[in-house]
Amino acid sequence: MRTNVVIVGAGPSGLLLGQLLFKAGVDAIVVERQTPDYVLSRIRAGVLEQVTLDVLAQAGVDKRLPRDGLPHTGFDLLFKGERHRIDLKGLTGGKKVMVYGQTEVTRDLMEAREAAGLTTHYEAQSVQIHDFDSDHPSVTFIKDGVTQTIQCDFIAGCDGFHGVCRASVPRQSIQEFEKVYPFGWLGVLADTPPVHEELIYVNSPRGFALCSQRSRTRSRYYLQVPLTDHLDQWPDEAFWDELRNRLDPEARDHLVTGPSIEKSIAPLRSFVAEPMRFGTLFLAGDAAHIVPPTGAKGLNLAATDVKFLSDALIEACIEKSHAGIDHYSKRCLARIWRAERFSWWFTSLMHRFPDQGEIGQKLQEAELDYLVHSEAGSRTVAENYVGLPLNFGE
């Protein structure tokens, strides 16, 4: 087989890249080790910045968004038992975010790829990348017991934090920065109406909580828990009881509980790999960086990586210019580190840290009090939350 670009990974990053390349007339094959059902079963966040919405529109996969997406013009910060609204629209000159689950984004991309008859190899085992330090890279994998080889011009590593692409880079050629947080998020998905029409971020002496949603009838809730906790310690009743203990009286009164349809504990980390280009191999999305989910930046960062990478690959394949791919890593990393900073800061502000004691809680509350009563402070939160422009700082 021969193609312009092999995309390793059929999550939202890989599928979005494939769709943008297809729209521009660049041939790409997607290789994924899991089944389509498994890919769609991964429950992730769903707060989309305007930049991401623009990229989805460019890819032609935004048809369901006006009907099923939930526009949010603000969110609540809850601390010391009281809620304070951050007016995103008013503080940012009219900007907002859209709540639309990552699973739905992935489904839209899968359906678009299938409708266009584009090649995707699911259940590809023993995926390996070769000769990406040359002009003749290739990707091999085993499907149905047969080894297959794809010759290509470029490889896009969209295969996540544990994928083969970053792991294939020689250790001396890459630098990794990582912070692992001493807690996780226990998440529950339930077919119950959300407790509030917008998100509620909770700073509580008992730990962080988040009241989120996927639709007007499906809710997503999170609790900060120790990394040592296991799911069997958290039957549904225990989860709902603890969530109530972290909410304000109004939210407790409006909380509708029900059986969980998905429950998981996710660790939190900040991670960046530099650079993001190695010859003809390019990393994008979780393969290159991870943010704690507090700032809702993971999918949005992946979308901007893909925007930069698609532009660069289209330029290289059609115009035969390497200007875009030569600047890809630097351009992405400038944006990534800004999002990493915001996610780290917001995580540090909202969570209970074991080593900070009671003074840590008081200092967090004092900073939150400043933020909600200072227009400058609130605007800083709002500008970062809705997402900085693509050309910010250039």
Q: Residue 228: which CATH number?
A: 3.30.9.10
Q: Does residue 192 form part of some domain?
A: yes
Please identify which of the residues 137, 194, 292, 293 carries the catalytic annotation. 293
Residue 42: the pLDDT is: 77
- Domain span at 72: 5-79+97-177+268-351
Q: Does residue 377 form part of some domain?
A: no
Of the candidates 245, 264, 283, which is a domain's last residue? Answer: 264
On whether both 145 and 33 belong to a single domain, the answer is yes
Beta strands in 27-119 (DSSP E): 28-31, 47-48, 70-72, 74-79, 82-87, 97-99
On whether both 253 and 276 belong to a single domain, the answer is no
Residue 394: the pLDDT is: 64
On whether both 135 and 274 belong to a single domain, the answer is yes
CATH code, domain carrying 68: 3.50.50.60
Among left, alpha and beta (phi > 0; psi -120 to 50; other), residue 145 is: left
On whether both 70 and 148 belong to a single domain, the answer is yes
On whether both 249 and 321 belong to a single domain, the answer is no
Please identify which of the residues 181, 201, 221, 328 carries the catalytic annotation. 201
Exposed (0-12), middle (13-18) or buried (19+): which is 203, by Cβ within 10 Å?
buried
Please identify which of the residues 121, 297, 307, 351 carries the catalytic annotation. 297
Residue 221: the pLDDT is: 97
On whether both 133 and 254 belong to a single domain, the answer is no
On whether both 68 and 214 belong to a single domain, the answer is no
CB 251 within 8 A of CB 197: no
On whether both 203 and 313 belong to a single domain, the answer is no
Q: For residue 315, what are the β-bridge partners?
A: none
Number of H helices, E strands in the chain: 13, 20
Q: Count Cβ atoms below 10 Å from residue 242 Cβ, excluding itself.
A: 17
Identify whether 72 is a catalytic site residue.
yes
Please identify which of the residues 100, 181, 328, 385 carries the catalytic annotation. 385
Identify whether 235 is a catalytic site residue.
no
pTM: 0.93
What tokens were used for 358? 């009671």
Please identify which of the residues 12, 72, 100, 221 carries the catalytic annotation. 72
DSSP conformation letters of 316-373:
IIII---HHHHHHHHHHHHHHHHHHHHHHHHHHHHSPPTTTHHHHHHHHHHHHHHHHH
On whether both 193 and 234 belong to a single domain, the answer is yes
Residue 220: the pLDDT is: 94
* Three-class secondary structure of residue 272 per DSSP: strand
Q: Does residue 251 form part of some domain?
A: yes
Residue with tokens 């989860």: 239
Distance CA 393, CA 381 (A): 18
Q: Does residue 238 form part of some domain?
A: yes
Identify whether 293 is a catalytic site residue.
yes
On whether both 108 and 233 belong to a single domain, the answer is no
Q: Does residue 291 form part of some domain?
A: yes
Residues contacting 28, CB < 8 A, separation 6+: 3, 4, 5, 6, 7, 17, 18, 21, 22, 118, 156
Identify whether 23 is a catalytic site residue.
no
CB 9 within 8 A of CB 160: yes
> Nearest to residue 168, comparing CAs of 6, 325, 58, 16?
6
**Side-chain half-sphere exposure of 316, counting CA atoms within 13 A:** 22
Of the candidates 264, 279, 300, which is a domain's last residue? Answer: 264
Q: Which residues of 209-218 are buried (b: 16+ CB within 10 A; e: fewer)?
A: bbbbbbbeee
Identify whether 201 is a catalytic site residue.
yes
On whether both 289 and 245 belong to a single domain, the answer is no
Q: Does residue 393 form part of some domain?
A: no
Per-run averaged pLDDT (10 residues), the chain, 394 residues: 96 97 97 93 83 95 93 97 97 95 93 96 97 96 95 97 97 97 96 97 97 92 96 97 98 97 94 98 97 93 97 96 95 95 97 93 97 97 92 69
Please provide the size of the chain in residues.
394
Q: Does residue 199 form part of some domain?
A: yes
If you ran DSSP here, which 8-state letter would residue 285 be given?
G
CB 173 within 8 A of CB 23: no
Angle made by CA atoms 381, 385, 388, in degrees to the nearest 5:
100
Q: Does residue 374 form part of some domain?
A: no
On whether both 297 and 240 belong to a single domain, the answer is no
* 81, amino acid identity: G
Structural domain count, the chain: 2
